[in-house]
Amino acid sequence: MKNLKKATGLFFLPVFLLAFTTTSVHKRTGVVKSKPADEYYSFEDFATVKKFDVHIHINTEEPYFIEQAKKDNFNFLDIVDDRPFGLPMAEQQKIAILDLQKYPGLLNFATTFTVKDYNNEDWVQQTIAALKQSFAKGAKVVKIWKNVGMDLRDSKGKFVMLDDPRIDSVVSFLEKNHIPLIGHNGEPKDCWLPLDKMTFSKEYYSAHPEYHMYLHPEYPSYQAQIDARDHMLQKHPHLKFVGAHLGSLEWSLDELAKRLDKYPNMSVDLSRMSNLQLHTLKDREKTRNFFLKYQDRLVYGTDKAINATTKPEELAKTTHISWVNDWKFYATDELIALKGFGDLKGLKLPKKVIDKIYYLNAKKWLQ
């Protein structure tokens, strides 16, 4: 390195002239800036760039994931869910509050609300009161889950969709108070297709026919989920909304783009990576242009569920590897294998775009 510096000094003039055509020179200082090196991050930059993962579920008080996040330069959003399996909602939230106190500045958390008493007359008031308590304890965001639209029924037995008037009252409260809402609404489109027409979920739905909506036509359709979400956004134009899992439009960048155009306060998290890689495999330029065009509306998130473990080294290693692999896809143009489909080239997005999707958009959204 030292020798190179010496050599550059010796031959300063010719190097400067040569560089002039391909690089820019700062007007006042005359410092030569090499453009290619400035515009992109390298694979090795992973550790030094500040990053944010906006879709994490922490289900344990163990510190192993958090230690790895620190090492890999990640802030994260811990999302509390109202799901019928695993750790109950209240327990998830207890852990989130503890972590918030233990690791100030490292994480934020998203709270949620129960729909258990949805058919009680005072459900809206009770829900808003519970949310206020969670905000007082540090929650910055609210999550609404797919049980609205796919499980919850009103007193007459009808499915309650996301644009239901009572859900509306809660959403209006959030809109008025500038609190962002994350919506995991519906499922991947695969869920409503026969097994042989699915892109990525065949294995899962073969094992879980009870969740495979193609087999349950009495449940609302995929389109009904998307329409209800769109209708909700139309009614709440000032709501800061983040659609989890590419807003459940993972199968089509065109359909996603239509919503981003129509709803200026909608963003999406990037937690359906296989779909993004498949779009890239099919048409890299189109996918890359999508990222360039919507660089202010995309936030990096992985949907990692962090459970108690007897093998902390393994948890740290798999967490690290998956984050590094994603970085390789976004920041470099190295080859990436998409299992069952083939090899694709990473998107190699400009630094400016990486900084936004990996950090600045999340920060802005959580302000």
For binding to Zn ion (CB under 5 A), which residues are involved?
A: 303
For residue 303, the minimal CB distance to Zn ion (Å) is 4
Residue number, 245 or 288, with CB nearest to Zn ion:
245
Q: Which residues contact 229 (CB under 8 A, 6 or more apart)?
A: 162, 163, 183, 185, 186, 243, 247, 248
For residue 57, the minimal CB distance to Zn ion (Å) is 6
For residue 205, the minimal CB distance to Zn ion (Å) is 18
Instruction: Write the single-letter amino acid at 54.
Output: V
Q: How many of the other CB atoms lie within 10 Å of CB of 301?
A: 25
For residue 55, the minimal CB distance to Zn ion (Å) is 6
Residue number, 51 or 304, with CB nearest to Zn ion:
304
DSSP state of 294: T
Q: CB nearest Zn ion: which residue?
A: 303
Q: How many of the other CB atoms lie within 10 Å of CB of 34?
A: 11
Residue number, 115 or 306, with CB nearest to Zn ion:
306
Residue number, 230 or 303, with CB nearest to Zn ion:
303
Residue number, 2 or 85, with CB nearest to Zn ion:
85
For residue 248, the minimal CB distance to Zn ion (Å) is 12
Q: How far apart are CA 242 and CA 272, in angstroms?
A: 14
For residue 59, the minimal CB distance to Zn ion (Å) is 11
For residue 134, the minimal CB distance to Zn ion (Å) is 18
First CA to last CA across the chain, in angstroms?
42
Residue position matching structure tokens 């699915």? 198
Residue number, 41 or 205, with CB nearest to Zn ion:
205
Residue number, 250 or 303, with CB nearest to Zn ion:
303
Element (H, E) at 123: helix 123-136
For residue 21, the minimal CB distance to Zn ion (Å) is 49
DSSP state of 117: T
Give 14-59 as a 3 state SS string.
HHHHHHHCCCEECCCCCCEECHHHHHCCCHHHHHCCCEEEEEEEEC
Instruction: Write the single-letter amino acid at 225.
Output: Q
Q: Which residues contact 238 (CB under 8 A, 6 or more apart)?
A: 175, 265
Residue number, 99 or 303, with CB nearest to Zn ion:
303
Closest CA to 215 of 205, 224, 225: 205
- Dihedrals φ, ψ of 297, to 5°? -120, 5
Closest CA to 144 of 172, 168, 173, 113: 113
Residue number, 82 or 303, with CB nearest to Zn ion:
303
Q: How many of the other CB atoms lie within 10 Å of CB of 334?
A: 11
For residue 83, the minimal CB distance to Zn ion (Å) is 9
List the structure tokens of 317: 């290693």
